[in-house]
């Protein structure tokens, strides 16, 4: 792979020692020498960043937040640090399928879209399959309105072209889910392609940072309002980028 399509994998970590080893191994196995895994640790007390650094792999860059920022701002920092042309996002506790990177790259070679999101099998803390398809469970699919009403962008299954970074960063105040903001902004600018293949094992367990069950209506309404404000505030920039995208 040439520098023209090198990749960055952005991972936010926090007390992830129980599950991080197989995830990091599954990622590094697919990275070339000029790719990178950008790990931003959000104040772990279990030695997670020390373990990652101890791997001694030159493709890994570890950064530590001076204070706990939460997953959204930690992923924001990781995205800002990413140097690759293609930017993948990864949770600390999933496992990538062996052909994830190549499968995404092949789609991006054929289609001029801003981002891709793949399907995933859902597993429990021990790796036992709970659901064969996150897409089927979530009724996932493309569309700005559809995903504004009910987000089906799964960050750990996404890749974004680095061209989108100026439109995405900084994340607007009030954004509750980084994957939703990234997906909706990419939808406006260049579209998001849903790839109907499970390319990760998406682990759900009691320590997950994100919720798998439905939130109370009042919280959903609050989050929708915040996202609408974020989109409207960034809309002139997104629409300008959309016009430029269509001419390239």
Which CATH number does the domain housing residue 186 bear? Answer: 3.90.550.10
CA separation for the pair 79, 92 (Å, rounded): 15
pLDDT of residue 81: 98
- Which range of residues forms the domain containing residue 23? 3-246
H helix and E strand count, the chain: 9, 9
β 158-161/86-90 pair status: antiparallel
- Average pLDDT of the chain is 94
Quick: pLDDT tens for 70-99: 999 999 999 999 999 999 999 999 999 999
Helix (H, G, I), strand (E, B) or coil at 119: strand
pLDDT of residue 5: 86
- Our count of domains for the chain comes to 1
Quick: pLDDT tens for 160-219: 999 999 999 999 998 999 999 999 999 999 999 999 999 999 999 876 645 455 779 899
Confidence of residue 2 (pLDDT cuts 50, 70, 90): very low
Decide if pLDDT at 3 tops 60.
no
Percent of the chain as helix, strand, coil, to the nearest 5: 40, 20, 35
* Of 1 and 202, the one with more pLDDT: 202
Mean pLDDT confidence for 38-64? 98
Quick: pLDDT tens for 101-149: 999 999 999 999 999 999 999 999 999 999 999 999 999 999 999 999 9
Mean pLDDT confidence for 34-48? 98
pLDDT of residue 215: 77
């Amino acid at each position: 792979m040439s520098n023209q399509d090198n990749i960055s994998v952005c991972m936010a970590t926090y007390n992830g020692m129980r599950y991080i080893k197989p995830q990091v191994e599954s990622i590094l196995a697919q990275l070339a020498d000029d790719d990178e895994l950008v790990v931003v640790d959000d104040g772990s007390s279990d030695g997670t960043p020390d373990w990652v650094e101890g791997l001694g792999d030159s493709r890994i860059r570890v950064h530590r937040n001076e204070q706990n920022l939460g997953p959204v701002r930690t992923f924001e920092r990781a995205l800002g640090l990413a140097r690759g042309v293609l930017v993948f996002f990864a949770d600390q506790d999933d496992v990538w399928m062996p052909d994830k990177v190549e499968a995404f790259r092949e789609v991006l070679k054929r289609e001029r879209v801003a981002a891709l999101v793949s399907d995933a099998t859902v597993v429990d803390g021990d790796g036992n399959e709970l659901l064969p398809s996150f897409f089927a469970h979530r009724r996932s699919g493309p569309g700005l309105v559809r995903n504004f009403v009910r987000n089906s962008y799964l960050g750990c299954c996404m890749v974004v072209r680095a061209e989108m970074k100026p439109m995405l960063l900084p994340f607007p105040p009030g954004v509750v889910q980084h994957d939703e903001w990234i997906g909706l902004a990419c939808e406006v600018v260049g579209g998001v392609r849903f790839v109907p293949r499970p390319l990760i094992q998406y682990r759900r367990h009691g320590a997950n940072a994100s919720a798998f069950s439905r939130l109370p209506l009042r919280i959903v309404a609050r989050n929708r309002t915040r996202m609408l404000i974020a989109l409207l505030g960034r809309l002139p920039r997104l629409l300008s980028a959309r016009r430029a995208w269509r001419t390239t």
